[in-house]
Amino acid sequence: MLAALTLGWQAWSGTPYIRWNPAILAVAHFLTLGVLASAMLGAMMQILPVATHIHVLRPRITSAVVHACLTLGTLSLAIGFISVKAVFHTAAVVLLAAAFLLFLAAVAGGLWRDRRQRSPGSAEILVAVRLALAALATTIALGLFMAGLRGGVWSVGATPAGAWLHGLPDLHVLWGLAGWVGLLVIGISYQVIPIFQATEIYPKRITDILAPLVFLLLVVLTLSGAWQLSNSHAATLPQRLAGAALALCYLVYGLFTAWLLLTRKRPSPEPTTWFWHAAMASLVLAALVGLTRSGWPALAGHTQEMLLGTLLIPGFAVSAVNGMLYKIVPFLLWHNAQRRAPMALPFIPKVRQFISEPDAMRQFAAHLCALALLAAACFMPVLLLPAALALAASAGLLAWNILRALMLYTRTCRRIQETLAALPEQARQP
Ligand code: HEM
């Protein structure tokens, strides 16, 4: 919602719709840190124990501290971009460093402590998750360094080394989107798409090769300096080939996943299926834009950069996370309600009753509308205000759907308590 309101304000102010506009930098982090990081870090703490028998260290205190620091750090970073006040960047560095260091330590500690009890068949998901965590650490380190420069926490002085600085945002975005977000969605999808969407499983050829290959290409792009996208026409042929190969990897993954979804065993698509379709369509388009950048660098420009960011962040990543929320939230509420009742109670809602399909589809329609308008606004910035309004409607409907599910869960827990209180002592025992 904050991203939508900031985008609306930016459209109203008429300042240029380019990646360096402070309001756009704030929007980028409301979405990448505020939406993606909070959902993905939370989901990892839930999915890892179920999918791999690996438990994050001290989950209660870890999740509380990470949630608080991540939320306040994201707000501080965004206010820092818009107000250009160094104190907010400094606060963001402290809070976000605390959030990600604690999270990475708790997960790494769990991966090491439970390494011998990981579930069979979890290797492919764990390889992708570990690489995604390494990409996240790289993204965060670069982000904290840049925010520290803006906050005056440290400086590089007038050293010749400064010359490489101007390319850092590109490297930061490359590891953030093609590394962390891309690898985590790939890794998790190996399990959740076949399980929740009743599709065939991903072939071993893909699950063994794709994630390590993407990571290797990111390392090649980093070491060869090809990540300086803003002057990619200077990129040498090997660098452009590495960029094209990365785009091809995501094109293959996107097309293959789309095919799995179109040939799934359950005929009628459900809301999460539509969100996955939107995510894969955006990823395939982004990969094609990436290929044209590597093939015809002269075409690179603000419009193409904004289109790539729009297709990868709200298009691919937010669609995938939004869709998964409609699987994760009802399941967790149902699971926790069941755990509170030592016997079967008929009034406990089924998983499907926590968020109805029409409500989820209404939100999907608003999300799809926002995506189309955001993409079009890259070419016609006059469409930015309607795009911001559609994004706000989508955020509002998502919040309403989750709030109503939580209210149903709270009512159910109250009824379970009342029912148990009315039962004789020994009938309450599990
Ligand atoms: C600790 C967390 C983070 C911090 C402190 C941070 C900080 C920054 C800073 C300071 C910039 C502006 C670069 C400049 O000085 O011009 C920036 C740009 C950006 N960051 Fe982050 N960032 C963080 C995490 C992320 C993550 C996780 C993602 C994505 C997955 C991300 C995506 C972006 C994008 C898209 C831009 C825009 C730059 C461009 O258009 O090239 N950031 N970040």
Query: How many angstroms does the Cα of residue 172 sit away from the middle of ligand 1?
Result: 6
Probe target for ligand 1 pocket from 150, 173, 185, 306, with the most ligand atoms within 8 Å of CB = 173
Burial of 357 (C-beta count, 10 Å sphere; 0-12/13-18/19+): middle
Q: Give the per-residue pLDDT at 272.
A: 95
Query: How many angstroms does the Cα of residue 356 sit away from the middle of ligand 1?
Result: 36
Instruction: Show pLDDT as tens, one digit a residue, over the chain (430 residues).
Output: 999 999 999 999 988 899 889 999 999 999 999 999 999 999 888 877 877 778 888 999 999 999 999 999 999 999 999 999 999 999 999 999 999 999 999 988 888 887 777 676 667 677 888 899 999 999 999 999 999 999 999 887 655 555 556 788 989 999 999 999 999 999 889 888 998 889 999 999 899 999 999 999 999 988 887 555 445 555 677 788 889 999 999 999 999 999 999 998 877 889 999 999 999 999 999 999 999 888 777 767 888 999 999 999 999 999 999 999 999 999 999 999 998 988 888 899 999 999 999 999 999 999 999 999 999 999 999 999 999 999 999 999 999 999 999 999 999 999 999 998 888 776 666 5
Q: Give the per-residue pLDDT at 227.
A: 52
Query: How many angstroms does the Cα of residue 30 sit away from the middle of ligand 1?
Result: 10
Q: Give the per-residue pLDDT at 295.
A: 78
* CA-nearest residue, atom 4 of ligand 1: 143
* CA-nearest residue, atom 37 of ligand 1: 25
Burial of 104 (C-beta count, 10 Å sphere; 0-12/13-18/19+): middle
> pTM for this one?
0.92
Other Cβ atoms closer than 10 A to 402:
18
CA distance linking residue 58 with residue 102, whole number of Å = 11
* CA-nearest residue, atom 43 of ligand 1: 143
CA distance linking residue 78 with residue 174, whole number of Å = 20
Query: How many angstroms does the Cα of residue 147 sit away from the middle of ligand 1?
Result: 8
CA distance linking residue 3 with residue 249, whole number of Å = 30
Q: Give the per-residue pLDDT at 238.
A: 78
Q: Give the per-residue pLDDT at 426.
A: 66
Query: How many angstroms does the Cα of residue 173 sit away from the middle of ligand 1?
Result: 6
Query: How many angstroms does the Cα of residue 325 sit away from the middle of ligand 1?
Result: 24
168 and 145 in contact (C-beta within 8 Å)? yes
Q: Identify the residues whose C-beta falls under 6 Å from ligand 1.
A: 19, 25, 28-29, 32-33, 37, 77, 92, 96, 100, 139-140, 143-144, 146-147, 150, 169-170, 172-173, 176-177, 180-181, 309
Helix H, strand E, coil C: the string for the chain is CHHHHHHHHHHHHCCCCCCCCHHHHHHHHHHHHHHHHHHHHHHHHHHHHHHHCCCCCCHHHHHHHHHHHHHHHHHHHHHHHHHCCHHHHHHHHHHHHHHHHHHHHHHHHHHHHCHHHCCCCCHHHHHHHHHHHHHHHHHHHHHHHHHHHHCCCCCCCCCHHHHHHHHHHHHHHHHHHHHHHHHHHHHHHHHHHHHHHCCCCCCHHHHHHHHHHHHHHHHHHHHCCCCCHHHHHHCCHHHHHHHHHHHHHHHHHHHHHHHHHHCCCCCCCCHHHHHHHHHHHHHHHHHHHHHHHHHCHHHCCHHHHHHHHHHHHHHHHHHHHHHHHHHHHHHHHHHHHHHHCCCCCCCCCCHHHHCCHHHHHHHHHHHHHHHHHHHHHCCCHHHHHHHHHHHHHHHHHHHHHHHHHHHHHHHHHHHHHHHHHHCCHHHHCC
